[in-house]
Each structure stands twice: as C-alpha cells, then as structure tokens.
Amino acid sequence: MVYRIPDDGDTRQRAVCPACQTIHYENPLNVVGTLPFWGTDGEMVLLCKRNIEPRRGYWTLPAGFMELGETTAEGAARETDEEAGADIELLGLFTVMNVSRVSQVHLYYRARLLNTTFNPGHETMEVRLFTEHEIPWDDIAFKTVKATLETYFIDRKAGHFAVHAMDIT
C-alpha cells in the first residue's frame, strides 16, 4: 500500500494498492451500542465484562463497529444480541460522541430490557445488572461508555432523556 494524492481532484493523500491500483479511502468508523436498563424506574443498567482485548476484564455497554447495510439502530440491536444475548425494546438515540483521536463516532441508544435472561457471546465473560451505586466506575472499559452511563443517570434524575452530542478527548 502506498500513500499518494489520487489524480481525480482530491486534495488528500489516500492509500493506493500498488498491485490493483484501488484507492482505499479511510474514513472514521462508527461504533454503535445500547444502554439496556431494567427496573420499574430504569434504575438498573446492563454491563458486559469484556472477554477480548482491548480492555479484557473491564466492563462495557454492548457495542461494536457498525456494518455495511444496517442502520445505527440495527447495528446497536445486533451488538446487544451478540454481546449480551439480551431481549430489548430499542428506544431513542441517546449519545453521539466524537472520539477524533481514533477517528471514531460512538452512538448509543437507550433500550428497555424485556427480561433478565442473558446469553452472552464469546466476546463477553459475564453479564450483570448494576444500580448506579453498584457500577464499577474505575473498571469501565471506555470513556464513551462512562460518559453514556453518567449522562443516563443525570437525565433519569431530571425525568427527561435528550440526545447528547459530546466530544471525548
């Protein structure tokens, strides 16, 4: 792979395969996931203990890279099924977070758990429900997960869930 400016009016260097000449545009990736909650007043949230690197052994919300042909909501529901095996009703978009240091955008949806039967996939060691005070805040895998959890409990206390756009540095 070599990097050069293509001959098509582009202004940036792109990765070009010296064998097949294909221009491989590299663009930011979307990570999509859910914040699954449980309880009469949504007082518990689901977290997954990661069984894979990076951040193996740390707790996360179910999330992963958005795939071709799906919507952000469909991707978020798919990841929730793959990582937690949880039955959910997907609700509204909740956080939109730029992580420009790694060229990613993370989007989380709120999701109502329909029951507490979980069936985690190979990427997850353990699935558990936590109240706000039980959450292992020092063992959360990613800043975007921590920000989404914190924002959830703030909005929950306020009695109103908005869409939150944030930059994570």
Residues lying near a second copy in the complex (CB under 8 A): 1, 9, 12, 17-20, 22, 24-30, 65-74, 92-93, 96, 98, 100, 103, 105, 107, 122, 162-163, 165, 167
Q: Would you say how long the chain is, in residues? A: 169
Q: Which amino acid is at 80?
A: T
Burial of 136-152, coded b for 16+ CB within 10 Å and e otherwise, reads eeeebbbebbbbbbebb
If the CB atoms of residues 4 and 24 are measured against a second copy, the closer one turns out to be: 24
What is the nearest approach in angstroms of a second copy to the Cβ of residue 134? 30
Cα separation, 84 vs 97, in Å, equals 22
What is the nearest approach in angstroms of a second copy to the Cβ of residue 58? 19
If the CB atoms of residues 1 and 5 are measured against a second copy, the closer one turns out to be: 1
Comparing C-alpha atoms, which of 45, 41, 8, 38 is closest to residue 23?
8
What is the nearest approach in angstroms of a second copy to the Cβ of residue 14? 11
If the CB atoms of residues 60 and 72 are measured against a second copy, the closer one turns out to be: 72
What is the nearest approach in angstroms of a second copy to the Cβ of residue 142? 17
**What does the block give as tokens for 164?**
């939150």
CB 13 within 8 A of CB 25: no
